[in-house]
Amino acid sequence: MIPVDPRIEPLLAQMAKDPALPAGAEASIRQTIVESPYLSNLLGDAIEKGRIGAIAVSHGQNNGGHFQDGKDGKAGTLNISEAAFKDFAGSDRIDYLTEVMGHETMHGVLAKHRAEALAEFGKSMGNRMQEAYDNRENQVDLTGPTRVYLDSTRADEALSEISGMRALHDRIKHLNP
């Protein structure tokens, strides 16, 4: 098997120390990464740029995975649901992991933009509320700031969906040149 990008290797080594890691999870994740050059490059770049600092398996989640933003400027964690290792096997598992990891990696890439959008939303809401208070308005229209924020979250999710599909497409193309 092709070796994993050296930028990713330390995160996999740390993940392997988890005593609750499902059997075969590390091998499946390694296979997923090496079989999708797009995913490998995206994940390696996100790690190198300090966007993703850990890969973990989450327990009890009802989704394929999730990205947990880091705190205080620290890198976040790409989480993969343990269900991926229980509900899927063989090539189906690797396909599923490829899509999930491509999706969640993009959330990591976009974490800074997401934080900026949320900060701007809070600032806009606060300014609008203060303006309404100062003018003794009896109601406040927060549609504008809310629309801008929701549009940014929709763009984040859409780009993450596209990234997951692109990672899977790249895996298929890589295995069937």
Q: Where are the domains of the chain?
A: 9-114+144-175
Q: How far apart are CA 45 and CA 3, in angstroms?
A: 16
**CA nearest neighbour of 49 among 115, 119, 111, 97:** 111
Of the candidates 81, 70, 71, the residue with the CA atom closest to the CA atom of residue 47: 70
Predicted pLDDT of residue 16: 96
65, 99 contact by CB (below 8 A): no
Long-range pairs of 66-73 with CB within 8 A, sequence gap ≥ 24:
66/104, 66/107, 67/104, 67/107, 67/108, 67/111, 69/111, 69/114, 69/115, 70/111
* pLDDT by position in tens, the chain (length 177): 689 999 999 999 999 999 999 999 999 999 999 999 999 999 999 999 999 999 999 998 778 999 999 998 899 999 999 999 999 999 999 999 999 999 999 999 999 999 999 999 999 999 999 999 999 999 999 999 999 999 999 999 999 999 999 999 999 999 998
Contact 11, 47 (CB under 8 A): yes
CA dihedral angle for residue 48, residue 30, residue 175, residue 99, rounded to 10 degrees: -70
For 21, half-sphere exposure in the C-beta direction (CA atoms, 13 angstrom radius) is 18
Q: Which CATH number fits domain 9-114+144-175: 2.170.140, 3.30.70, 3.30.2010, 3.40.50?
A: 3.30.2010
